[in-house]
Amino acid sequence: MKSFTEAKSGEINSSGLNPWSSKKFYETENLLEKTEVELFEYFKDALGVLTTGDEANSALNDLLNHFRLNTGDFYMNEKLSNIIQFGDGDAETLGNDDRTVGDFMKSAFNEICNKLNELNGQCVGDVNIDVTALKYPNFPMSDPNLIAQLGGIQGVSVLIDNAGNLTAELYGTFGVSEEDAVKRDSKFGNTITGGSIGTKAMRILQTHHGKKPFVDGVKIDPLKLGESNFNLNDCN
């Protein structure tokens, strides 16, 4: 239990003026002794390290307010949805692991077009495509704000409106498992009130303060993001 309730709350460089010194001394504290308000501040600071820009910070505040309400209800992150970095949508110019939001939408568009071609345009209701063939965004390459506020993709919906325009929704779980709380300790050890203490604080908010994880999502609307090449009328 110690490895998960004690966290590094700050660091002091032994070399004084040299910020890159590898010799660091950490002060540890027991997070179980902290109040709910203090734990929320640790968690907010950790996510703030990964969040960039005023609009993304506003989206983060709304997300944390939903966590504080503790309903456990689904949350659509509308503000983040409106500022997502789309990317060029050209996977051929990127490495195998460098997938943007644009790559994901392009792969969904191609899969649906291929299915419609197979059906000769004669379809009613849902169109089933191979979701394993989609090029899911790779965080944080796709957008550094997504890794802070969505964290990972655990579900997806691809939607088509009456005009043939494609949109998508990506879903994740806003919560921290014990494994994540321990695993991130070494990864973010050099960040003051960073991922280590932040993920542990969120885990304790769940286990000791009754805060409920919930499903959160973002909507990818190419037209809103200035992209007009995702209309099924353009299928070859």
Instruction: Give the mean pLDDT per block of 10 residues along the chain (236 residues).
Output: 46 36 49 90 86 91 94 96 85 65 92 84 66 82 84 86 92 85 52 60 91 95 92 85
**What is the CA angle 49-51-55, rounded to 5?**
145
Predicted local distance difference test score (pLDDT) of residue 183: 63
Q: What are 25's two structure tokens?
A: 């001394």
Predicted local distance difference test score (pLDDT) of residue 9: 45
- Cis peptide before 213, with omega less than 30 degrees from 0? no
Predicted local distance difference test score (pLDDT) of residue 48: 85
Predicted local distance difference test score (pLDDT) of residue 151: 76
Give the N- to C-terminal CA distance of the chain in Å, as an integer.
58
Q: Which of 138, 169, 150 minimizes the C-alpha distance to 63?
A: 150
Predicted local distance difference test score (pLDDT) of residue 109: 92
Predicted local distance difference test score (pLDDT) of residue 129: 76
- For residue 133, the number of C-alpha atoms closer than 13 Å in the C-beta half-sphere is 12
Question: Quick one: 224 exposed, middle or buried, by C-beta within 10 A (0-12, 13-18, 19+)?
Answer: middle
Predicted local distance difference test score (pLDDT) of residue 26: 41
What gap in Å lies between CA 129 and CA 44, rounded to an integer?
A: 38
pTM exceeding 0.95: no
